[in-house]
Chains A and B, each alone.
Chain A
Amino acid sequence: MDVVMLSRIQFAVTIFFHFIFVPLTLGLSILLAIMETMYVRTGNEMYKRMVKFWGKLFIINFTLGVVTGITLEFQFGTNWSRYSEYVGDIFGSLLAIEASTSFFLESTFIAVWFFGWKKVSKKVHLMCIWIVALAANMSAFWIIMANAFMQNPIGYKLVNGKPQLDDFIAVITNQYGIGIYAHTLTSSWMVGGLFVMGISAWHLARKNEVELFKSSFKMASVFFFIFSLGTAAAGHHQGQIAAEYQPAKLAAMESHWETGTNVPMYLLTWPNSTNTGNVVQALPIPDALSILAYNNPDAEVIGLNDIPKEDRPPVLPVFISFRLMVALGSFFPILGFALFFWRKKIEEKTFVLKVLPWLIPLPYIGIMLGWAVTEMGRQPWIVYSMLRTSDAASPIEASMVVWSIIAFTIIYSFLGVLDIYLLRKYAIKGPK
């Protein structure tokens, strides 16, 4: 394998591992802030114990999110130096803004929050967790806006063949990025909601701390239900943005080959392995793809046959990831509604309580699949229509990358196993 492929594998491994921790940080930080707000408002000690219990799990998760993020920032330089030099003027500044505005806030105020229970007033303490929640969710904005430049490069002018910043406001209001940001936040908040509900269910099934866990469950059920709907809405919007800016991605998501109007959606589809067409294509829903993509049955949807073979994304993995994500995304609002509906008598639903902890991974899987669609669907471009991924890697030896992939795999597997073990241990232990 060459440096490009190896570097892609390494980037995929490291970013997926990083993104195990990020969504929970984004979602649980807000839930923690809401719980602590309840504590400060009511003075009820139960809420304080609630915050401390979920806070402990939050910190175990947060630490690995922080350190696995550092590797990513440096990896643009280590493995993608051609890319870094090409887009640094725009992409680099967004990364620097993310670090200086969000990471400093997060790291400092999480420390005061965690270590400062006795050092600051209740209100200052509450402010700390709100700052952490806001800063974490803001950091996602900057990194996604940086990603948006790869998806839909705007706000630049070409100088000596390189994009140079021309309109900063355009760069940070990139519609593609706003769409991804909305989809990322809503789905991450869903992760937080189901995490809290799943662990609460485990304790409710054993009648541990019923008041505390029922209260946690109720809060999280509202949160999860709202954002499962939000995720679906933002996801639909995301598809329409892809249709507008990256027709090849949309076509790959649906494995759609022939350009035309009134395009149906085939319930049964399977792309062939040569990236040239479908093996199976049956059970059409008339006009569905045209409507989904453009809200108009007569709309024309470009097919992959009109996209040169060398410019097509790998259809099979994009298509599979997309279908699985949509299946999950359709399931969550149903689950969300049911849990919301049962929230007041959830302790009686013994079957639900037993199943729920096992569902915690599902939104995580949905998010991973979504990013796989977004990033693989952009191929073969690293910056859409501007720079090919194959031209972006560092001029380094492939053996070096092999070496680092092996090291990453060992270290991350080790930490991943321990992290899950500790989360499980402290989740089961419950509040003291």
Chain B
Amino acid sequence: MTLELIWFLLWGVLWAVYFVLDGYDLGLGTIFPFFAKSEREKRVLYNAVAPFWDGNEVWLIAAGGITFAAFPRAYAIMFSALYAPLFIILFALIMRAASFEFRSKVDSDGWRKMWDVFQFLGNFVPALLFGVAFANIFQGIPFDADGVYYGSILKLLNVYGIIGGLFFVINFSMHGSLWLSMKSDGEIHDRAIVYAKRLWPFTVALAVAFLAATGFYTDLFVNYQKNGMLLVVPAIGVTALLMVRIFLAGGRNHLAWISNAISIFFVIMFGIIGMFPKLLPSSLDPAASVTIFNGASSTLTLQIMLGVVAVIIPLVLLYQLWAVKLLMHVVDDEVLDSDESY
């Protein structure tokens, strides 16, 4: 039981880390067409995330892999039920990757414009659909005890799903603006901060709407009513989001980004903890829900995987942090003129 509980939390943590990290890529790509006008500005935005998007995306692969390894039944039903949105997300991520790699390789305006469209869609669409998908998972999706799904992509676009999607899009956009403020200087840097400041009230409004809708459409708060101590998780999420504005006012942009990262992490964990012990609630038949009791792998698999993850994930965090520090320089003319820039 303890082992399953640890894995349940780890499962949530991996998804949360993915959203913290890829969130800023997805967000920066979302504001891309509104923010970047000149060719130089566009290149600054591309190069602000170019060294990082791949490393960030691996957290998605890790989260998917861990879902498969620790909770195969959840993996099987989650991805077959969400077939259409998942493939749309994957197609978008493929085109996003290609836009980074291919855009700078041919000197033609039409070519660059085409990849700029894919850069936007490749980031905006996953941001939106991840939000829609997770909101739907929080409120339960219609599948029976055999794992057969009875919904459709249109049914995912319900009120709560849309609030979740918008919340992801706007929060990630702010997250990306904050990232850009750290990776740029001059006018772009200043405007990135203006963007973050303008997006902040919308993020707060959507966070409030999301929490209220969560109470209305889902059972997530039941766990929090049972154990009031757990309320500290959403409380940290909300506090960190409020702190973003304070740090921004004080000109401490790094702290503002970190604060928003903490906020994203705890908002995801708020949902995950609220679902416990379910990984995938069924809205059709509560008994069909995938839980840590009926969905977990064998004890031996969970033990071995825990050993692997306990050693590897801290190491990954260390060397990724080293790489980020190394490549955290401002994207200035010198960077843009170098061979390695996009």
Q: Mark A105-117, 1 if CB is under 8 A from B, else 0.
A: 1011111101111
Which of A34-42, A317-325, A347-355, A418-426 makes up part of the contact surface?
A418-426
Top 4 nearest A-B pairs by Cβ distance? A88-B72, A77-B79, A92-B68, A96-B65
Which of B180-188, B237-245, B252-260, B301-309 makes up part of the contact surface?
B301-309
* B301-A100 in contact (CB<8A): no
Q: Mark B48-76, 1 if CB is under 8 A from A, else 0.
A: 00111011011011101110111111011
Say yes or no: A111-B91 contact (C-beta < 8 A), given A73-B64, A396-B80: no
Say yes or no: A111-B76 contact (C-beta < 8 A), given A78-B83, A93-B305, A100-B62: no
Which one of A60, A77, A100, A164 contacts B101 once the chains associate, using CB atoms below 8 Å? A60
* B147-A85 in contact (CB<8A): yes
Say yes or no: A63-B308 contact (C-beta < 8 A), given A88-B73, A104-B58, A422-B105: no
Say yes or no: A88-B297 contact (C-beta < 8 A), given A63-B100, A418-B102: yes
Which residues of chain B (224-252) have a CB below 8 Å from chain A? none
Say yes or no: A97-B308 contact (C-beta < 8 A), given A103-B62, A119-B326: yes
* A70-B61 in contact (CB<8A): yes
* B298-A107 in contact (CB<8A): no
Q: Which of A89, A100, A166 has the most CB of B within 10 A?
A: A100
Closest chain B CB from A305 CB (angstroms) = 38
Say yes or no for B3: interface residue by CB 8 A criterion.
no
Q: Which of A89, A99, A403 has the most CB of B within 10 A?
A: A99
Say yes or no for A13: interface residue by CB 8 A criterion.
no
Q: Mark A60-79, 1 if CB is under 8 A from B, else 0.
A: 10011011111101101111
* A68-B305 in contact (CB<8A): no
* A92-B75 in contact (CB<8A): yes
Say yes or no for B34: interface residue by CB 8 A criterion.
no
Closest to A111 in B: B51
Say yes or no for B205: interface residue by CB 8 A criterion.
no
Say yes or no for A120: interface residue by CB 8 A criterion.
yes
User: Bound state CA distance, A10 and B24, in angstroms?
Assistant: 32
* A411-B95 in contact (CB<8A): yes
* A164-B98 in contact (CB<8A): no
Say yes or no for B313: interface residue by CB 8 A criterion.
yes
Say yes or no: A89-B327 contact (C-beta < 8 A), given A74-B90, A396-B83: no
Say yes or no for B94: interface residue by CB 8 A criterion.
yes
User: Bound state CA distance, A422 and B108, in angstroms?
Assistant: 14
* A120-B326 in contact (CB<8A): yes
Say yes or no: A426-B77 contact (C-beta < 8 A), given A67-B93, A100-B308, A104-B58: no
* B86-A395 in contact (CB<8A): no
* A407-B91 in contact (CB<8A): yes
Closest to B90 in A: A71
Say yes or no for A215: interface residue by CB 8 A criterion.
no
* B75-A88 in contact (CB<8A): yes
Closest chain A CB from B210 CB (angstroms) = 26
User: Bound state CA distance, A91 and B76, in angstroms?
Assistant: 13
Say yes or no for A95: interface residue by CB 8 A criterion.
yes
Say yes or no for A90: interface residue by CB 8 A criterion.
yes
Q: Mark A156-168, 1 if CB is under 8 A from B, else 0.
A: 0001000011101
User: How many residue pairs, one in A and one in B, have C-beta atoms under 8 Å apart?
Assistant: 216
Say yes or no: A79-B61 contact (C-beta < 8 A), given A52-B339, A100-B308, A411-B94: no
Closest chain A CB from B290 CB (angstroms) = 10
Say yes or no: A89-B301 contact (C-beta < 8 A), given A81-B80, A103-B58, A395-B146: yes
Closest chain B CB from A130 CB (angstroms) = 14
Which residues of chain A (211-266) have a CB below 8 Å from chain B? none
User: Bound state CA distance, A96 and B7, in angstroms?
Assistant: 13
Which of B35-43, B165-173, B191-199, B315-323 makes up part of the contact surface?
B315-323
User: Bound state CA distance, A69 and B65, in angstroms?
Assistant: 12
* A112-B323 in contact (CB<8A): yes
Size of the chain B interface, CB-CB below 8 angstroms:
65
Jot down 21 A-B pairs with beta carbons below 8 A, ordered by A: A52-B339, A63-B97, A64-B98, A67-B93, A81-B77, A82-B76, A85-B72, A99-B65, A100-B66, A100-B309, A100-B312, A103-B58, A104-B58, A118-B338, A164-B298, A164-B301, A166-B300, A168-B304, A396-B149, A400-B83, A404-B83
Which residues of chain A (364-418) have a CB below 8 Å from chain B? 394-396, 400, 403-404, 407, 411, 415, 418
* B57-A104 in contact (CB<8A): no
* B147-A395 in contact (CB<8A): yes
Q: Which of B76, B98, B102, B320 has the most CB of A within 10 A?
A: B76
On chain B, the residues within 8 Å of A108 by CB distance are: 55, 316, 319-320, 323
On chain B, the residues within 8 Å of A415 by CB distance are: 94, 98
Say yes or no for B279: interface residue by CB 8 A criterion.
no
Closest chain B CB from A404 CB (angstroms) = 5
Closest to B309 in A: A100
User: Bound state CA distance, A93 and B303, in angstroms?
Assistant: 11
On chain B, the residues within 8 Å of A273 by CB distance are: none
Say yes or no for A290: interface residue by CB 8 A criterion.
no
Say yes or no for A138: interface residue by CB 8 A criterion.
no
On chain A, the residues within 8 Å of B304 by CB distance are: 93, 165, 168
* B86-A74 in contact (CB<8A): yes
Closest chain B CB from A92 CB (angstroms) = 3
Which residues of chain B (82-112) have a CB below 8 Å from chain A? 83-84, 86-87, 90-91, 93-95, 97-98, 100-102, 105-106
Which residues of chain A (291-324) have a CB below 8 Å from chain B? none
User: Bound state CA distance, A365 and B95, in angstroms?
Assistant: 26
User: Bound state CA distance, A12 and B297, in angstroms?
Assistant: 28
Say yes or no: A104-B69 contact (C-beta < 8 A), given A63-B97, A93-B305, A400-B83: no
Say yes or no for A288: interface residue by CB 8 A criterion.
no
* B300-A165 in contact (CB<8A): yes
User: Bound state CA distance, A88 and B60, in angstroms?
Assistant: 18
On chain B, the residues within 8 Å of A98 by CB distance are: 65
User: Bound state CA distance, A68 and B75, in angstroms?
Assistant: 19
Say yes or no for A173: interface residue by CB 8 A criterion.
no
* B68-A78 in contact (CB<8A): no
Which one of B80, B97, B305, B329 contacts A77 once the chains associate, using CB atoms below 8 Å? B80
* A63-B68 in contact (CB<8A): no
On chain A, the residues within 8 Å of B54 by CB distance are: 63, 66, 107, 110-111
On chain B, the residues within 8 Å of A400 by CB distance are: 83-84
Say yes or no: A93-B297 contact (C-beta < 8 A), given A84-B68, A415-B94: yes
Say yes or no for B340: interface residue by CB 8 A criterion.
yes
Closest chain A CB from B299 CB (angstroms) = 9
User: Bound state CA distance, A91 and B68, in angstroms?
Assistant: 8
